[in-house]
Amino acid sequence: MESVDLHVLNTSADWLATGKRAWLATVTQTWGSAPRPVGALAAFCEDGRLVGSVSGGCVEDDLMERVRTRTLARSLPEVAVYGVTSDEARRFRLPCGGTLKLLVEPITDTEWVAALIAAIERREVIARRVDLATGKTRLVPADVDQKLFSDEKTLITIHGPRWRLALIGASEVSRYLAEIGLALDYEVLVCDPREEYVASWDLPSMPVITAMADDFVAELKPDSRTIILALSHDPKHDDLALLEALKSDAFYVGAMGSKTTNAKRRERLALFDLSPAQIARLKGPVGLPVGSRTPPEIAVAILAELTAVRNGIELARAIAEPTASRAVAAR
């Protein structure tokens, strides 16, 4: 599965390749309870097709109606604001007090689309600068921490690299993490050299990488948008992966298991060439303490915590965590 940005861009490129006209809408500013975040994308085709989302429905319907009536951004970028009044908020089914500001662009130059797709796939961080007076787009290198910028003259959007979720062990929990992770826009990679686990893996669209865990992590070259989770239940494989991951630039390194299991894991890691600061980076037990028992519940708990961490939200763990969820994770 492609990331949302790539899906919108690739679909737009496909439309343009067949001679269709297309428009790109970007959320540039929000006020109140907006349904989509700043930077959200949607693309519209002149034949009525739509990909991506800027509101969840009604704003897209209005923009598509303007496509049909040929009143949407005919040659230059155009600003559209929805939800200024309470009546308009109700009309477009925006949350109470929510307002969206969009920039809608006719895509007239296909070269930047292809170049941006290629850069994202190379895991580069690229800024797309749009001159609102001319509609011209320029791509320049950017920093991963840069944010979208918009004023009356310029729009700058930041793209790539995609978040990666590297799973060590083709366990049942990994299977659900992989499926839900794809829905959350992760590039998911699964590594397990054990033949019996590879044979039982039932996601043909996501083949298991059979390299040794440490070789896999080293070749991955983890960066600030890489998350690595040790889930194999086998210390030989989990520890090998962690020895490489904790020395890398990975955004998050975690391991499944009980508090006792993770304490023993840290003791083992201390016997190798890891500093106390590197060992302290290890998160475990992973997942919010929500009483999860089954593999899909555990996967949901883990991805919920990752979502919070990515969004910069500090979650205080319960002092007395439910033991049932950790008992399952410890097996």
What are the pLDDT digits (tens) for 105-161?
Answer: 999 888 999 999 999 888 899 999 999 999 999 999 998 888 999 999 999 999 988
Residues 211, 229 within the same domain: yes
Task: Report the chain's mean pLDDT, rounded to a whole number.
Answer: 88
Q: Are residues 169 and 153 in the same domain?
A: no
Q: Are residues 12 and 152 in the same domain?
A: yes
- Considering the domain architecture, whether residues 278 and 300 belong to the same structural domain is answered as yes
Query: 268 lies in which domain range?
Result: 164-330
Domain boundary among 159, 184, 202: 159
Range with the poorest average pLDDT among 3-7, 27-31, 81-85, 204-208: 81-85
Contacts 24+ apart (CB under 8 A), 317-326: 317/289, 318/289, 321/285, 321/289, 322/289, 322/290, 322/291, 324/291, 324/293, 325/287, 325/289, 325/290, 325/291, 325/292, 325/293, 325/297, 325/298, 325/301, 326/257, 326/258, 326/259, 326/285
CB count within 10 Å of CB 176 equals 19
Pairing of strands 226-230, 252-255: parallel
Among residues 106, 140, 159, the one where a domain terminates is 159
Q: Name the amino acid, one letter, at 248.
A: S
Do 120 and 29 fall within a single domain?
yes
In a shared domain, residues 154 and 189: no
Residue where a domain terminates, one of 102, 126, 159:
159
Instruction: Please name the helix (run of DSSP H) or strand (run of DSSP E) that holds residue 214, with its range, or none.
Output: helix 213-220
- How many domains is the chain built from? 2
Q: Give the per-residue pLDDT at 329.
A: 42
137 and 232 share one domain: no
Q: Kindly report whether the global pTM for this prediction surpasses the value 0.85.
A: no
Statement to judge: residues 112 and 247 lie in one domain = no
Cα three-residue angle 153-116-224, rounded to 5 degrees: 100
Q: Are residues 168 and 155 in the same domain?
A: no
**Are 153 and 188 members of one domain?**
no
Say if residue 149 is in the same domain as residue 277. no
Which residues have a Cβ under 8 Å from the Cβ of 327 and sit 6 or more positions away? 258
pLDDT value, residue 97 = 53
Say which CATH number the domain at 176 has. 3.40.50.720
What tens digit of pLDDT does each residue of 7-56 get? 899 999 999 999 999 999 999 998 776 677 899 999 999 999 999 998 86
Alpha carbon dihedral 221, 243, 316, 289, in 10-degree steps, equals 100
Residue 98 main-chain phi, psi, to 5 deg: -80, 140
